[in-house]
Amino acid sequence: MKILSGNSNKFLAKKISENLNLPLVKAEITRFADNEVYVEIKENVRGEDIFIIQSTSCPANDNIMELLIAIDALKRASAKRITAVIPYFGYARQDRKSLPRTPISAKLIADIITKAGADRVLTMDLHATQIQGFFDIPVDNLFAAPIFANDIKKNFKDRNPMIISPDVGGLIRARAIAKKIDAELGIVDKRRPKAGISEVMNIIGDVKGKDCIIIDDIVDSGGTLCNAGDALIKAGANSVFAYITHGILSGKAIEKVKNSSFETLVITDSIDQHENTNLTNKIKILSIADLFATAINNTTLEKSVSTLFD
The residues that are catalytic are: 190
DSSP 101-145: T---HHHHHHHHHHHHT-SEEEEES-SSGGGGGG-SS-EEEE-SH
94 near 64, Cβ under 8 Å? no
DSSP 258-287: HTSSEEEEEEETTS--TTGGGT-TTEEEE-
Strands (E), 87-238: 120-124, 139-142, 161-165, 184-194, 197-204, 211-219
CA distance 200 to 146: 28
178 near 210, Cβ under 8 Å? no
| Half-sphere exposure of residue 262: CA atoms within 13 angstroms, side-chain side | 31
Instruction: Tell me the one-letter amino acid at 99.
Output: L
Q: Please state, in angstroms and as integers, the Cα–Cα distance from residue 40 to each residue in 29, 77, 120, 129, following that order.
A: 7, 10, 22, 34
Q: What is the CA radius of gyration of the chain?
A: 20
